[in-house]
Structure 1
């Protein structure tokens, strides 16, 4: 089979790999959709590499169909043809974190992660432990299932951490795929959403997904705009998705007294002084992806409420168009891409 590797310095190659063979408890998934994630760009933009383990097949937003069962996989647990999402971390399977659905927090061994220490999904087939597959509702597309496996699921996981949203104002800094997913979910869950970004196209999409107010932070002070939209009180809930340090500072400024801020963007330095914040009675959270259980719940919610997750994808590519696809994605000006397979 062919798989996509990043060779560094913004270069990609399609290389030949042996078709995967399932071991005990594993299955082979024929990939039908493999999403492009912003975290791909850290490796894509990195220095040139020439050998394993760096040259692993990329892609960690997979979705597809089971085509082969490994030894010990019961026919009652899985069948060839099952449509499945994939939770793209797996650990020992027996520690408390793994048993609670959080294998990315495994306390026994280093988690296995496609693109980091396992082959990923930018290929025709992927080998995965059966326990890391989740059923994809029949009404959802493979593209939606891929999004739920990472970016859209990350938004769901963060909102779950933040608690009941009904009737509350939630400001979401950053309207990339994760932020737009959060806007879509939060509006559906009964929140009043204020969407903040520097890109008008993203803000238009946020409005289409249910945002009540949109703020272009390149046109004025975002904190002032949030306070103006909340009668000077600030936002009861704030989510920061960009991972940019100055934006994280704005998120802290924009939250109301007794409010909650959830940081999910990777890379920001979040700083505060207790002299300035102690009497605001703030709750500060972090959230990293989601559990296997919540991935199933997220898909069921999207299915039940017919949310337009597919509309996150502005570009669909064939694997042999990967060079052009990542040149486009590297600009990070708008949209989300996905590789689709017959």
Structure 2
């Protein structure tokens, strides 16, 4: 299917794509109903916004590129043609408390997400609201900017919720792009990182990304090993980036008393003994849903300032005309992170 190149309206900007990442959540739409997850959150307001939930949509919610055109009422002091930008892939009403604090994915009227209900970045151009744009530091590549637009930004958002510092020991469960981003970022903060996965190749990669210790959960009891590595106490913090019930349980049980646990991945429920696993240990479990608009900017400044090489996250680079092959390969979930490079 082909679409006309977009033209910006009031307070809109057209971005020429330079990189558009492939995220694991894209597979939910690739494999089935492309609006199932988000339609339930925004169906009532879609008609008012002129959105047809059944209309074909260009995929991709990790866009990064250069401003190609600006519409009327866009502040030229803030954004101009040629600027390098990332796209915050959520858009809301702009008026509720969630939107005004940068959490438009929690919009009272329902969120619209690029690549889900409105066109995404797997095309030469994308049209977005000027409120969705964040400047990309010169120190970061376009594919790095694409990573921050979702996966890496999500890792940084969870670390912010955990109030992570160099005093902490962090156990990361699940070493896909989000988990590996957490390893990279935490190591750059000076945090001792213990990385856990059941895939031997990912476990080995975590050490190259800065983990102090890496555990193959298919061969060892991860909770037991983390307690051994921490002198029997447990990690002070844990992040669950795998998306399964066992990993969520292990993330809780691997932490010390007063431990802080961030549940990040979609998939799997948390089933624990409330008294034994939470109350008596004074543990805090946090749900961390991606990141805020301001959080994306903070993430980019941290990465630029600490020289974190996000390009290392990508195992596969594709051209747009290879999209069918790219998604067939990505659906096998046998490699790492993919990106379309323009």
Q: TM-score, normalised by structure 2?
A: 0.92
Q: Mind listing any 5+ residue stretches in structure 1 that lack a counterpart?
A: 1-14
Q: Mind listing any 5+ residue stretches in structure 2 that lack a counterpart?
A: 36-51
Cα distance in structure 1, aligned partners of 2:77 and 2:291:
26
Cα distance in structure 2, aligned partners of 1:144 and 1:48:
26
What SS does the aligned partner of 2:171 have? Answer: strand
Deviation at 1:21, TM superposition (A): 1.6
- 1:28 to 1:48, Cα distance in 2 relative to 1, 3 A: closer
> Which residue is equivalent to 1:42?
28
Task: Tell me, yes or no, if structure 1 residue 100 matches structure 2 residue 86.
Answer: no
What SS does the aligned partner of 2:112 have? Answer: coil
What SS does the aligned partner of 1:16 have? Answer: coil
Deviation at 1:274, TM superposition (A): 2.3
> Which residue is equivalent to 1:194?
194
Cα distance in structure 2, aligned partners of 1:98 and 1:320:
36
Deviation at 1:202, TM superposition (A): 1.4
> Which residue is equivalent to 2:40?
none
> Which residue is equivalent to 2:44?
none
Q: Deviation above 6 Å: which 4+ runs of structure 1?
A: none
Task: Tell me, yes or no, if structure 1 residue 32 matches structure 2 residue 18.
Answer: yes
Task: Tell me, yes or no, if structure 1 residue 241 matches structure 2 residue 241.
Answer: yes
Task: Tell me, yes or no, if structure 1 residue 85 matches structure 2 residue 105.
Answer: no
Task: Tell me, yes or no, if structure 1 residue 147 matches structure 2 residue 133.
Answer: no
Cα distance in structure 2, aligned partners of 1:35 and 1:229:
35
What SS does the aligned partner of 1:288 have? Answer: coil
Q: How does 1:154-169 map to 2 (within 5 A)?
A: 154-169=154-169
Cα distance in structure 2, aligned partners of 1:288 and 1:124:
29
Q: How does 1:147-226 map to 2 (within 5 A)?
A: 147-226=147-226
Aligned residues: 325
> Which residue is equivalent to 1:137?
137
Deviation at 1:139, TM superposition (A): 1.9
Q: Deviations over 1:242-274 (max 9, x none)?
A: 111111111122111111111001012012232
Cα distance in structure 2, aligned partners of 1:79 and 1:197:
44
Deviation at 1:55, TM superposition (A): 2.4
Cα distance in structure 2, aligned partners of 1:295 and 1:126:
19
Cα distance in structure 1, aligned partners of 2:54 and 2:73:
29
Deviation at 1:137, TM superposition (A): 0.7
CA contact under 8 A between 1:54 and 1:116: conserved in structure 2?
no
Moved more, 143-152 or 227-236: 227-236
Q: Deviations over 1:53-105 (max 9, x none)?
A: 25210000000011111111132121111110010001111221111111111
CA contact under 8 A between 2:34 and 2:116: conserved in structure 1?
no
What SS does the aligned partner of 1:166 have? Answer: coil
CA contact under 8 A between 1:176 and 1:334: conserved in structure 2?
no
Cα distance in structure 1, aligned partners of 2:264 and 2:33:
26
Deviation at 1:48, TM superposition (A): 9.6
CA contact under 8 A between 1:201 and 1:334: conserved in structure 2?
no
- 1:256 to 1:54, Cα distance in 2 relative to 1, 3 A: farther
> Which residue is equivalent to 1:56?
57
> Which residue is equivalent to 2:126?
126
What SS does the aligned partner of 2:90 have? Answer: coil
Deviation at 1:333, TM superposition (A): 2.4
Cα distance in structure 2, aligned partners of 1:228 and 1:93:
49
Q: Deviations over 1:108-166 (max 9, x none)?
A: x2111112210111001101001110000112111000000100000000000001321
Task: Tell me, yes or no, if structure 1 residue 73 matches structure 2 residue 45.
Answer: no
Cα distance in structure 2, aligned partners of 1:47 and 1:322:
19
What SS does the aligned partner of 1:21 have? Answer: coil
> Which residue is equivalent to 1:114?
114
CA contact under 8 A between 1:173 and 1:241: conserved in structure 2?
yes
Q: Deviations over 1:204-243 (max 9, x none)?
A: 2211111000000011211111111111111111100011
Q: How does 1:287-302 map to 2 (within 5 A)?
A: 287-302=288-303
RMSD: 1.5
CA contact under 8 A between 1:202 and 1:334: conserved in structure 2?
no
